[in-house]
Amino acid sequence: NPEARFKQQAGEHAASLVQSGMVVGLGTGSTAIFATRKIAVRLQTGDLQGIVAIATSRATDDTARALGIPMLADDIPREIDITIDGADEVDPAMDLIKGGGGALLREKIVAEASRLEVIVVDEGKLSPRLGTHWPLPVEVLEFGWRSQVRFLESLGAAVTPRPGNGGLFRTDQGNLILDSRFGPINNPLELAGKLEARAGIIGHGLFIGIASDLVVAGNDGIRHLQR
Ligand code: DER
């Protein structure tokens, strides 16, 4: 389908930005996986040498190891040169909603430790304002999670605890995700501040001022935009 083709084009274009010797952050989701696969191929053909990677989720770590990509220890002992990751929604300021895949906390940790954060999307992810199309994923400690539901509702969201096999979805950290539908968010920075001030909220999917590059693939080809 066209969307998968665009995801592949965006992911593989971003993989071409990786240079030998780099420390590479590997994103999570169906677009970033194309970058990970392309990096593995480049290593196999010798086009790319001497890289080491850090994954943004256990799932990505498993896939990368299976593809033979050398992996860095989880404490991120070296600066990350480039991270390639997806997004659920991108606004004109290149700010993002992420977390559709549930990896938002490790994704943000890796992103904030990266010199370049390259976001890869199909054109369907572009949005005039964050929240227009996607709920905002909020990662919360299980302890007191229903009080977080009430808190998010008090901020104007319709809140759905994300379901998982056999009950509620668990992140790699064992926390829960509250998908919070705010609708178009007028001031993402202000909302992010309110979320970060709340005890028990461990992470959220607003990535503001974090992406350095955006690779968008669509009907009119591939565009690489820089912040
Ligand atoms: O969880 C995330 O933030 C992922 O990057 C993600 O939601 C993007 O997903 P997709 O590339 O599978 O659409």
pLDDT in tens, 158-167: 999 999 988 9
CA atoms within 13 A on the CB side of 75: 1
Global pTM value: 0.97
For residue 29, say whether it is annotated as part of any ligand binding site.
Answer: yes
Q: Is 131 left (phi over 0), alpha (psi -120 to 50) or beta?
A: left
Who lines ligand 1 at CB under 6 A? Answer: 27-32, 85-88, 98-101, 103-104, 107
Q: Which amino acid is at 80?
A: I
Q: Which of 107, 112, 139, 153 is catalytic?
A: 107
ipTM over 0.85: yes
Cα(60) to centroid of ligand 1, in Å? 12
Q: What's the rounded Cα separation, in Å, for the pair 46 and 40? A: 10
For residue 31, say whether it is annotated as part of any ligand binding site.
Answer: yes
Could you give the 3-state DSSP secondary structure of residue 175? coil
- 107 a catalytic residue: yes
| Residue nearest (by alpha carbon) to ligand 1 atom 7 | 100
The model's pLDDT over 63-90, given as tens digits with 9 standing for 90+, comes to 999 999 999 999 999 999 999 999 999 9
Q: 98 - beta bridge partners?
A: none
**DSSP state at residue 171:** -
Q: What's the rounded Cα separation, in Å, for the pair 64 and 68? A: 6
Could you give the 3-state DSSP secondary structure of residue 189? helix
Quickly tell me which residue has 């991120």 as its tokens. 76
Task: Look at residue 197 in the predicted model and tell me its pLDDT.
Answer: 98
Per the document, the length of the chain is: 227
The model's pLDDT over 6-57, given as tens digits with 9 standing for 90+, comes to 999 999 999 999 999 999 999 999 999 999 999 999 999 999 999 999 999 9
Please give the structure tokens belonging to residue 58.
């256990």
- For residues 122-126, average pLDDT: 97
* 8, 9, 98: residue to mutate for ligand 1 pocket, most atoms within 8 A of CB: 98
